[in-house]
Amino acid sequence: MNNLFSLKDKVIVVTGASSGIGRATAIMCSQLGGNIILLGRNEERLKETLNFLENTGHLYFSLDLNEDDDVDIFIEKLDKIDGIVHSAGIVQSQLFSFLKKNDLENMLNTNLIAPALLTKKIIKKKKINKNSSIVFISSISGPNVTYIGNASYSASKSAVCGLAKTMALELAGKGIRVNTILPAMIETDLINSIDSSSEDIEKDKKNYPLGDYGKPDDVAASACFLLSSASKWMTGTDLKLDGGLTLR
Ligand SMILES: NC(=O)c1ccc[n+]([C@@H]2O[C@H](COP(=O)([O-])OP(=O)(O)OC[C@H]3O[C@@H](n4cnc5c(N)ncnc54)[C@H](OP(=O)(O)O)[C@@H]3O)[C@@H](O)[C@H]2O)c1
- CATH number for the domain spanning 218: value is 3.40.50.720
197 is a domain residue: yes
Per-residue pLDDT at 45: 98
144 is a domain residue: yes
Q: Where are the alpha helices (DSSP H) in the chain?
A: 20-31, 43-52, 68-77, 101-108, 114-124, 151-171, 189-192, 198-205, 216-227
How far away, in angstroms, is 216 Cα from ligand 1 center? 11
Per-residue pLDDT at 221: 99
221 is a domain residue: yes
Q: What is the pTM of this model?
A: 0.98
Per-residue pLDDT at 91: 94
3-state secondary structure of 82: strand
218 is a domain residue: yes
246 is a domain residue: no
160 is a domain residue: yes
Catalytic pick among 60, 147, 153, 208: 153
Instruction: Say how far apart CA 158 and CA 153 lie, in whole Å.
Output: 9
C-beta separation of 227 from 234 below 8 A: no
Per-residue pLDDT at 197: 86
Instruction: Say how far apart CA 190 and CA 78 lie, in whole Å.
Output: 29
User: Mean pLDDT of successive 10-residue segments in the chain (248 residues)?
Assistant: 94 98 98 98 98 97 98 98 98 96 97 98 98 98 97 98 98 98 92 78 95 97 98 98 97
Per-residue pLDDT at 1: 73
Write the residue with the smallest CA distance to atom 23 of ligand 1: 16
Q: Name the domain count of the chain.
A: 1
Sequence-distant (6+) residues with CB within 8 A of 2 are: none
- C-alpha 200: how far from chain center: 26
Per-residue pLDDT at 175: 98
149 is a domain residue: yes
118 is a domain residue: yes
60 is catalytic: no
Per-residue pLDDT at 2: 87
**Residues found in the chain:** 248
Write the residue with the smallest CA distance to atom 34 of ligand 1: 40
Look up the domain containing 104 and give its range: 11-240
